[in-house]
Structure 1
Amino acid sequence: MDRTAAAAALNGYTIVGHSRPVTNSYAAFGQTIWHVTPTLDLTTGLRYTYETKTGYFEQTATGASLAGLTPAQLVAANSIRARYGVANAYTASTKEGRLSGSATLSWKVTPDALVYATYGRGHKFGGLNLANIVTTGAFAADPVIKPETIDSYELGVKTAWFNNALTANLAAFWTNDSDYQTTVVDTDRNNQSYFTNVGKVRTRGFEADLRASPAPWLSLYASGAFTDAKYVDYANAPCPIEVTGQTTCDLSGRRLPGVSKWAVSTGGEARQAVGSLLGRDSEAYVGADYSYRSDFNTTASLSRYSLIPGYSLVNARLGVRALDGIVDIQVWARNLTNTLYYLSLSAGTTGAVTGTLGDPRTYGVTLRTRF
């Protein structure tokens, strides 16, 4: 590389970008409940939403004059500046009206057992990609992001046992998301990376919830979920940092970021009357909670350097409270086992892997009151 051209291109070269989005949203909605029989209900709802979005992006680029460079050096200097950004400005707007709704059929099999089936269609409205993209010429990209369309299905059962001393709920779900909004790298548009619509995303799984009060002084709970979430179609995805020699990667069939396959939590609380606190009937209590989530990725490119291993957390508390809630004094500990875990991980182009750690073992005292 010509050092003279590089120095002339970047010395004092300054890029400043501004954007301003404006959104107006209007909606009307309604709901009906039809008691088909004394034990069978059909609940329906509709919502119409209309949105308008306008905005602009403006980028200025200033630097020293390139006068005095040879023609070859001038080409090289402008090429270097183009890598970092050049003057750019555009306006964009979109308007969209969408109808969403849901229908739930519920059957009370017995006074303590309810079976239900639900279908819903919703939308995540699009927007404007007010970033440094090219909107004219051979490599033009559309700054307007289309809405997502989400079709969801759920089948479940809710039960109560032993005069509500035990409740058990189970549900299975399936969601199809079309025109999913995420980042792509477009090789036909000079390898621009920008936010837009890709193909389809699918999420399916099941979840269970259990709550019990085996004695007046004891309450327990447990819940768990299995979630299979993946990109069905994501052909022009940004490649993870460890992939070299290609601009885009096909992530179709790969797991969605931010979603663990397994998530489990359980815990409970024991209570004992202790007489009077500030002239009010009070109780002492002790409780603990355990949670676990399996590994998940924190970047859309699914880099192995952004894969967070599964981890477990244990929290505990001990306190005294008035039964009317006027005062509650609690000693607590979070992450009691001092587990080292991450909230996020990512690798940069420099090769450095950065992350955000979760809180270590933490103790404290909390006083709550109300007026």
Structure 2
Amino acid sequence: MSGVAWTKRAQAADPLATRLFDRYRDDLSLPAKWGEALDLNLYGIRAADWFLPPTTNATVSAAALNGYNVVSHSRPVTDSYAAFAQTVWHVVPGVDLTTGLRYTYETKSGYFDQGATGASLVALTPAQQAAAQTIRSRYGIANYYQAETKAGRLSGQATLSWKVAEPLLTYVTYARGNKFGGLNLANITTTGQFAANPVIRPETIDSYEAGAKTTWSGGRVTANIAAFWTDVKDYQTTIVDIERNGVSFFTNAAKVRTRGFEADLRAAPTRWLSLYASGTYDDARYISYANAPCPIEITGQAICNLSGRPLPGVSKWAASTGGEVRAPLGLTGAHDTEMYLGSDYSYRSATNTSASLSRYSAIPSYDLINIRFGIRTLDGLFDIQFWGRNITDSTYFLSRGAANTGAITGTLGDPRTYGVTLRTKF
């Protein structure tokens, strides 16, 4: 067994974790303090056959990994203090300047303590011992480190709005935001060939936006449009580093940028009909990420340059539209009742779910259609709704990825699903 992880707080709700904890506490010197995060990896008697390539010396690989156990525990501590203020200046009639400032000071500290036990290597030659230790270093060896970071950061925004006419409001906004640095309290090494920094640098976000908000026909129609541009320095991202045996940890990309536009339209032309539509174009990219880890399909190369490549998790195009039609049914008892029929359509263009942009993590574009039909009272006493989701039974992925064992995994979205929901309010 490998990859069993839990916190001590979860043991009571997880019988398997409890049994493993009790079984290996003495042998592996698991910590006894509550509140620490624990991670336990137990490699079975044939682990080397599964995890290591067949070209590895069989004697070395068996001694290194078969029956190897790695146990770690960590404890992070965070303290945060903040003060903020906001002002609104009515420059002239119809023109307002809204400003805000926030100062935050944070300290983060913690430790990572890892122990490992395995077969004795004394029967191997010195060269074989060195090779076995190299293998073990990729899966976890005795390791202890402490890390801390502290900083004070000032963030804020300024928005200038102009109510051009009764139905039209325009605005421009600049905002400076911060995402504080953090700690990697995980199975990383802090020295040597595969060293990773336990401290993640803070992230700085400069955001610019300009747009217009409009209301027409006495509020029955609203139409909004906005253009945006955001620069992020020291972008924080999670990577899975194949050179470190697939270890997942946080790191910083030098700079990323998102830019695009978005628009939405909502209309209620009558009491019994409502419609909506929205769309977004988002060109999100790594601007500077020259020392990125390579995707799993690239071997023999530790560093790849992802500068100029798309940012994972962001679809360039996204859109949705739908509506609802309602018809009065009169009184049910003393409650006004209506029947309704609605439908929603959504679309997302292709994206990738791994920071290294592996081709095995690519998700094709997909669209979904949902429908609903029901009867409800206007005061919320009851609402009986029959619904169908993904009624075209589209096959789509929420995530995809590949492991260094060669396994490609993915999480599929829900297939065609029907159901009924009853809501009430007393």
Segments of 5+ residues of structure 2 without an aligned counterpart are 1-55
Contact 1:139 1:190 in 2 (8 A): no
Q: Secondary structure at the match of 2:281?
A: strand
The residue identity in structure 2 corresponding to 1:234 is Y
Give the counterpart of 1:146 among 188, 193, 201. 201
Name the residue aligned to 2:52. Answer: none
Q: How does 1:102-117 map to 2 (within 5 A)?
A: 102-117=157-172
Check if 1:265 corresponds to 2:304. Answer: no
Name the residue aligned to 1:32. Answer: 87
Name the residue aligned to 2:290. Answer: 235
Give the counterpart of 1:13 among 68, 93, 100. 68
Contact 1:282 1:321 in 2 (8 A): yes
1:138 Cα offset (Å): 7.9
Name the residue aligned to 1:314. Answer: 369
The residue identity in structure 2 corresponding to 1:323 is L
Which deviations, in whole Å up to 9, do the C-alpha atoms of 1:180-199 show, x marking residues without a partner?
11256999999997422221
1:278 Cα offset (Å): 4.1
Contact 1:183 1:238 in 2 (8 A): no
Contact 2:323 2:342 in 1 (8 A): yes
User: Could you say if the C-alpha distance between residues 342 and 6 of structure 1 is closer, same or farther in structure 2, counting changes exceeding 3 Å?
Assistant: closer
Q: How does 1:157-172 map to 2 (within 5 A)?
A: 157-172=212-227
1:353 Cα offset (Å): 1.7
Q: How does 1:322-341 map to 2 (within 5 A)?
A: 322-341=377-396
Check if 1:46 corresponds to 2:101. Answer: yes
1:166 Cα offset (Å): 1.2
Contact 1:45 1:103 in 2 (8 A): yes
**Count of aligned pairs:** 371
The residue identity in structure 2 corresponding to 1:306 is S
Q: Secondary structure at the match of 1:219?
A: strand
Query: How many Å separate the matches in 2 of 1:245 and 1:79?
Result: 17
User: Could you say if the C-alpha distance between residues 143 and 347 of structure 1 is closer, same or farther in structure 2, counting changes exceeding 3 Å?
Assistant: same
Contact 1:335 1:360 in 2 (8 A): yes
Name the residue aligned to 1:85. Answer: 140
Name the residue aligned to 2:77. Answer: 22
Which deviations, in whole Å up to 9, do the C-alpha atoms of 1:290-312 show, x marking residues without a partner?
11111111111111221111111
TM-score, length-scaled by structure 2 = 0.82
The residue identity in structure 1 corresponding to 2:411 is T
Contact 2:239 2:354 in 1 (8 A): no
Check if 1:360 corresponds to 2:425. Answer: no
1:132 Cα offset (Å): 2.5
Query: How many Å separate the matches in 1 of 2:243 and 2:140?
Result: 19
Greater share of residues in strand: 1
Which deviations, in whole Å up to 9, do the C-alpha atoms of 1:312-349 show, x marking residues without a partner?
11111111111112211111111111111110111222
The residue identity in structure 1 corresponding to 2:313 is G
Query: How many Å separate the matches in 2 of 1:239 and 1:25?
Result: 35
Name the residue aligned to 1:210. Answer: 265
Contact 1:36 1:42 in 2 (8 A): yes
The residue identity in structure 1 corresponding to 2:177 is G
Q: Secondary structure at the match of 1:149?
A: strand
Check if 1:175 corresponds to 2:258. Answer: no
171-180 or 159-168: bigger deviation: 159-168
Query: How many Å separate the matches in 1 of 2:131 and 2:249?
Result: 26
1:64 Cα offset (Å): 2.9
22-31 or 149-158: bigger deviation: 22-31
The residue identity in structure 2 corresponding to 1:112 is P
1:46 Cα offset (Å): 0.9
Query: How many Å separate the matches in 2 of 1:297 and 1:147?
Result: 24
The residue identity in structure 2 corresponding to 1:132 is N
TM-score, length-scaled by structure 1 = 0.94
Query: How many Å separate the matches in 2 of 1:28 and 1:337?
Result: 51
Q: Secondary structure at the match of 2:288?
A: coil
Contact 1:193 1:238 in 2 (8 A): no
The residue identity in structure 1 corresponding to 2:267 is A
Contact 1:203 1:230 in 2 (8 A): yes
Q: Secondary structure at the match of 1:283?
A: strand
Segments of 5+ residues of structure 1 without an aligned counterpart are none
The residue identity in structure 2 corresponding to 1:361 is R
Which deviations, in whole Å up to 9, do the C-alpha atoms of 1:127-158 show, x marking residues without a partner?
11112233356875431111100000000001
The residue identity in structure 1 corresponding to 2:134 is S
Q: Secondary structure at the match of 1:198?
A: strand
Contact 2:213 2:222 in 1 (8 A): yes
Which deviations, in whole Å up to 9, do the C-alpha atoms of 1:13-63 show, x marking residues without a partner?
211111211111111112111111120011111111111111000110112
Give the counterpart of 2:401 among 340, 343, 346. 346
Q: Secondary structure at the match of 2:103?
A: strand
Contact 2:70 2:114 in 1 (8 A): yes
Which deviations, in whole Å up to 9, do the C-alpha atoms of 1:62-85 show, x marking residues without a partner?
123333433333333323322322
Query: How many Å separate the matches in 2 of 1:71 and 1:283?
Result: 82
User: Could you say if the C-alpha distance between residues 2 and 346 of structure 1 is closer, same or farther in structure 2, counting changes exceeding 3 Å?
Assistant: closer
Query: How many Å separate the matches in 2 of 1:127 and 1:365?
Result: 44
1:120 Cα offset (Å): 0.3
Name the residue aligned to 1:65. Answer: 120
Query: How many Å separate the matches in 2 of 1:9 and 1:353?
Result: 26
The residue identity in structure 1 corresponding to 2:337 is S
